[in-house]
Chain A
Amino acid sequence: MMNFIFGKLTLDALPHAWFTIGGTATITLGGIATALLLTKYKKWKWLWEKWLTSTDPKKIGIMYIIVASLMLFRGALDALMIWTQQAMSTGSSHGYLSPAHFQQIFTAHGDIMVFFVTMGFLFGLINFIVPLQIGARDLAFPFLNTLGFWLYVAGVVLINMFFVFGGDFAAAGWLSIAPLSELQFSPGIGVDYWIWSLQISGIGSLIGGINFIATIIKMRAPGMSLFKMPLFTWTSLCSMVLVVSVFPILAVTIALLNLDRFFGMHFFTSTAGGNPMMYTNLIWTWGHPEVYILILPGFGIFSEVVSTFSQKKLFSYSSQVAAAIGVTLLSMVVWMHHFFTMGAGADVNAFFGIMTMFIAVPTGVLVFNWLATMFRGKIVYSTPILWFLGFVATFTFGGMAGVLMSVPPADFQVHNSLFLVAHFHTMIIGGALFGIFAGLTYWFPKFTGFKLDEKLGIYSFWFWLIGFFVSFIPLYILGFMGATRRLDHYSSSTGWQPLFITSLIGFCIIAIGAGIQVLQVIVSIKNRKQNLDTTGDPWNGRTLEWATKSPPSFYNFAIIPEVKDRDAFWDIKQGSRVKDQGLMEKYEDIEMPKNTAMGIYVAGFLFVFGFAMVWHIIWLAIITLIGTIVCFIIRAFDDESEYVLPASEVAKIEEGRIHG
């Protein structure tokens, strides 16, 4: 009976180790504190109506960014634990973590950083900025947008659930490589949490990808042809094309692994004819494009930043677009470079090696274009451009490491070594994350109506950059010396400890940088009166998002702009169109989507469904699945998901008589 009600869930699953107790305490205390604050300031209704149920992509974007920031600290804590262990654990000392626990930490670290930090930030930025850049009022499918966001949140919660129920996370690496992730070798529930967290949030990303493609293709302002789109929109489009091309493969791969584990099938098992190497292939056909999903929007951010702060048109717009498309296409035919050592044979390795090297060409084109844009520009050295310059240094470095590993014989030496770890951190931190920071600083006034504190921004940049090199150059060296990744202990005769300690020091420098960023946000909010952005165009911008006020009204544009030039807003500013526009044209009625809580309900049901599947609580899984379907049916019968904002109302908001 207990078995029926609770599945595999027993009292033993409740927290008893220091880290699960700590995690559970943090989660519950944090939850209680938030709830108390909300009650004290009577903000529940406000939170629910203005934020959680909102279909406004700007609000959803901000919520993505907030969750991703929280997860950044969660993931950084994991990093600190990994690094400390490695700095300590040599010779007779075995550090403070058991090998089993260590494995769970690096697994969680990778998943959280990729799926919930980088992806979260990117979806946040794209949500907020892309509709503005293309002169749209909304996304193509507002409901799917909240749904996608809440699925992401469900994934975030599920990946942290093991603190409270279970105590063990997956320990098979961030991609849960088979057959290690099969029941035979990972009998616990950790891998099941991994499966459902990524499955649910992955479907959220897939829905988001479809939505953004439809938005960018179908909702552009009149006159904005594809080749007049800003580069951030372009690279987001490329990234989303990759999302819809490869996330289905991830969904299938995870589902098959689940079939193996839950129903005892044999896709990737080492028995009964299963083929573990197929898992490696499938996961990397998704995995390599995924890393370009992470970096492409960053490329676009840098294009915007470089052009704005050099006060110049982008150098060779068409070749940048071509390069972005080239990267997109090439990234789909290189996945094998992640397992040259698996034994596919020399011909196959050679093909994928050469394809991988080709990727350096379009990437190089982009870098040279950015530099050429700066050349003879009137450069304003504010924080976003510093992030760009830092990025050029790190990205070139990491790219060369990548090209080195794309030579199969060379890769045999450094595969799965710390050299590889250093490579991809250079690309993801120095590339994607620096891009995100540049974007967050650049668009912050658009989000909030005031700029971020410039001085603290510059400090934090230097801490990040220096800390980055201090912590990752040792890893490159260690990799060459033969240190493999994921070591929880090494012999003292290797003499590696000083390098590991240096690396830990680097981490601490980065942590100071991140601390300064938190301070920066707090200080900027406190001193917002001094940094107010009253014009909506604080940087003398070139693209349409700067044509709105900061923060924009919920409908973005009272009058949809006519686009005549690539730098649409620059063009408007040059002419006199901005002035007579309001007089010449009258406001019109605007149709906007209503708020809906259905996304929350569906995600809630799927979250419980995932939890029930992890613990084999069959009745609960069935009920929640039915609940999900019923939600969709109710939604299907709702024909009134939009409302009309009358022109007179728009006029009032625009003239500042009531608050938008």
Chain B
Amino acid sequence: MDKHEFNNEKTQFGFWVYLMTDLLMFAALFATFAVLRKNTFGGPSGRDLFNLQFALTETLILLTSSFTCGLGIIFAQKKKVKQTVIFFGITFLLGISFLGMEIYEFSHLITDGNSPQRSAFLSSFFTLVGTHGLHITSGLLWMIILFIQIFRKGLTDSNLRKLTLLSIFWHFLDIVWIFIFTIVYLMGAVL
């Protein structure tokens, strides 16, 4: 195995371990949410607050961004810089729109007086969804850095490696979101 391959393998392995720790963090947050979701303390519950169509739109945007991210990686592996940048560019825009929608939802809730301080249920909701949002933000930041690096040096081995990690991260966030959509929004609206 040459050095470049070895570095790839090592870094990817480490990154997977990191993702597992992140997953456990989300697991703990999901558990808190599950414990606290009925504790509305006289305030509104999920059924009163959530707009399923809105959340579904967010979900579709994120799913599409995962798809374009996957296409981006395929082109990156073929060393096609232009297509790579285009597809990651689309991913970036979709990510930004997702984040915008989330911020819109949060500010809406807060201005209506349903802030995280209102009840334990709202605390856990904002924290779980907000943590995902923070991850999306850091993913976007990472994407910008990689864009700059690709513009400067092209699709070098090291840039390709980082891009691959980023795509894994992005898919991971997508999966976490699906759980959020199901457990927080769907179950919140139905149960």
Contacts and interface: CB of A to CB of B under 8 A. Distances in A.
Contacts of B9: 218
A637 B149 contact: yes
Contact of B17 (A244, A266, A629, A633): A244
Contact of A140 (B14, B21, B35, B162): B14
Contact of B21 (A206, A267, A591): A206
Given A214-B14, A272-B119, A639-B158, A267 B124 contact: yes
B96 interface: no
A109 to B, nearest CB: 28
30 contacts: A210-B14, A210-B18, A211-B14, A217-B13, A218-B9, A244-B24, A246-B24, A248-B22, A249-B24, A251-B25, A256-B32, A265-B116, A266-B120, A267-B32, A267-B36, A267-B120, A267-B127, A272-B41, A272-B117, A273-B39, A273-B40, A273-B41, A274-B123, A275-B35, A275-B39, A282-B31, A282-B32, A633-B145, A636-B145, A636-B162
A162 interface: no
B185 interface: no
A383 interface: no
Interface string B33-62: 001100111000000000000000000000
Given A217-B13, A218-B10, A275-B36, A263 B117 contact: yes
Interface in A605-660: 629, 633, 636-637, 639
A252 B10 contact: no
Given A259-B127, A278-B35, A637-B149, A210 B22 contact: no
B177 interface: no
A253 B158 contact: no
Contacts of B21: 206, 209-210, 244, 247-248
Interface string A461-481: 000000000000000000000
Nearest to B35: A278
B173 to A, nearest CB: 16
B176 interface: no
A521 interface: no
B117 A141 contact: no
Interface in B95-152: 116-121, 123-124, 126-127, 141, 145, 149
Max chain B CB contacts within 10 Å: which of A140, A245, A265, A269?
A265
A142 to B, nearest CB: 12
Interface residues of B, number: 38
Contacts of B3: 591
A214 B41 contact: no
Q: Is the interface of A mostly helix, strand, loop or mixed?
A: helix
Max chain B CB contacts within 10 Å: which of A211, A218, A272?
A272
Interface string A219-255: 1000000000000000000000000111111011100
Q: Is the interface of B mostly helix, strand, loop or mixed?
A: helix
B86 interface: no
Contacts of A119: none
Given A252-B32, A275-B120, 4 more contacts: A259-B123, A272-B41, A272-B117, A273-B36
A213 interface: yes
B123 A214 contact: no
A140 B24 CA distance: 22
A495 interface: no
A264 interface: yes
B169 to A, nearest CB: 14
Interface of A: 140-141, 206, 209-211, 213-214, 217-219, 244-249, 251-253, 256, 259-260, 263-267, 269, 272-275, 278, 282, 591, 629, 633, 636-637, 639
Contacts of B119: 266, 272-273
B40 A252 contact: no
A247 B116 CA distance: 25
A218 B14 CA distance: 9
Given A218-B13, A273-B121, A244 B116 contact: no
Nearest to B142: A636
Nearest to B25: A248
Contacts of A260: 123
Contacts of B149: 636-637
A172 B9 CA distance: 45
B175 interface: no
A213 B121 contact: no
Contacts of A282: 28, 31-32
A249 B20 CA distance: 12
Contact of A245 (B22, B24, B40): B24
Contacts of B35: 275, 278
Contacts of A245: 24
B13 A273 contact: no
A20 B24 CA distance: 39
Contacts of A206: 21
B186 interface: no
Contact of B32 (A210, A251, A278, A636): A278
Contacts of B63: none
A594 to B, nearest CB: 16
A248 B158 CA distance: 28
Max chain B CB contacts within 10 Å: which of A206, A211, A266?
A266
A273 B13 CA distance: 41
Given A214-B10, A265-B117, A256 B25 contact: no
B29 interface: yes
A264 B120 CA distance: 10
B22 to A, nearest CB: 7
Nearest to A591: B3
Interface string B5-21: 00001110110011011
Contacts of A210: 14, 17-18, 21
A3 B148 CA distance: 40
